[in-house]
Chains A and B, each alone.
Chain A
Amino acid sequence: MIECSSVYKRYKSGTNALYDINLDIDQGEFVYVIGPTGAGKSTLIKLLDGEETPTKGLVKVAGIDVGKLKRRQIPLYRRNIGVVFQDYKLLATKTVAENIAYALEVINVKKPQIDKRVKELLEILNIPEIKDAFPDNISGGQQQRVAIARAMANRPKVLIADEPTGNLDLNMSMEVMDSLERINAKYGTTIVMVTHDVGIVNRRRKRTLVLEHGHIVADLLDGGYVTHDI
Chain B
Amino acid sequence: MIFRSIREGLRGFTRHFGMSASSILIVSITLIILSVFMIFSYHLERFTRHFESTMEISVQIDYDYEDEDSEAILRKQIEAIEGVKKITFYTKEEEMEFYMNTIEDEREKEIYEPFENNMNPMHDSFYIETDTGSQIEQVANEIRKLEGIYKVEYGGENTMNAVSMMMNVRRGTLIVVIVMIIMAIFLIRTTIRQTISSRVDEMRIMQDVGASNRFIRAPFVWEGVIIGLLGAIVPIALTIYAYISYYKGTGGKVLAGLFTLVSPSPFLFYICGIVLFIGVLVGFVGSWTSVTGFLRARR
Known: A91-B201, A106-B215, A108-B1. A74 touches B209 (CB 8 A): no
Q: Chain B, 205-217, contact with A by CB distance < 8 Å: what is the 0/1 string?
A: 1111111110110
Interface residues on A, range: 20 to 34
- Please name the residue on chain B nearest to A46 by beta carbon: B299
Task: Give the chain B neighbours of A151 by CB distance below 8 A.
Answer: 208-209
Write out the residue numbers on chain B whose beta carbons fall within 8 Å of the beta carbon of A154: 209-210
> Do B208 and A78 touch (CB < 8 A)?
yes
Interface residues of A in 91-148 (CB under 8 A from B): 91, 102-103, 105-108
- Chain A residues with CB below 8 A from B209, complex form: 78-79, 102-103, 106-107, 150-151, 153-154
Query: Which stretch in A50-58, A189-197, A205-213, A215-223 binds the other chain?
Result: A50-58
By a CB distance below 8 angstroms, the chain A residues around B296 are: 71
Known pairs A102-B205, A106-B215; A71 contacts B299 (CB<8 A):
yes
Q: In the complex, what residues of B have CB within 8 A of residue A72's CB?
A: 213
Tell me if B's interface is mostly helix, strand, loop or mixed. Answer: helix
Question: Which residues between 268 and 289 of chain B lie within 8 Å of chain A, taking CB atoms?
Answer: none
24 A-B pairs in the complex with CB atoms less than 8 angstroms apart:
A49-B208, A51-B298, A51-B299, A75-B210, A75-B213, A76-B212, A77-B210, A78-B208, A79-B209, A79-B210, A89-B208, A102-B205, A103-B205, A105-B4, A106-B206, A106-B209, A106-B210, A106-B216, A107-B209, A107-B212, A108-B1, A150-B205, A151-B209, A153-B209
Closest 9 CB pairs of A and B: A79-B210, A106-B211, A78-B210, A103-B209, A75-B212, A75-B210, A106-B206, A83-B208, A51-B299
Please give the residue numbers on chain A whose beta carbons come within 8 Å of chain B beta carbons, in ascending order. Answer: 49-53, 71-72, 74-79, 83, 89, 91, 102-103, 105-108, 150-151, 153-154
12 new A-B pairs (CB below 8 Å) besides A49-B208, A91-B202? Answer: A52-B299, A75-B210, A75-B212, A76-B212, A83-B208, A102-B209, A103-B205, A105-B4, A106-B209, A107-B209, A153-B209, A154-B209
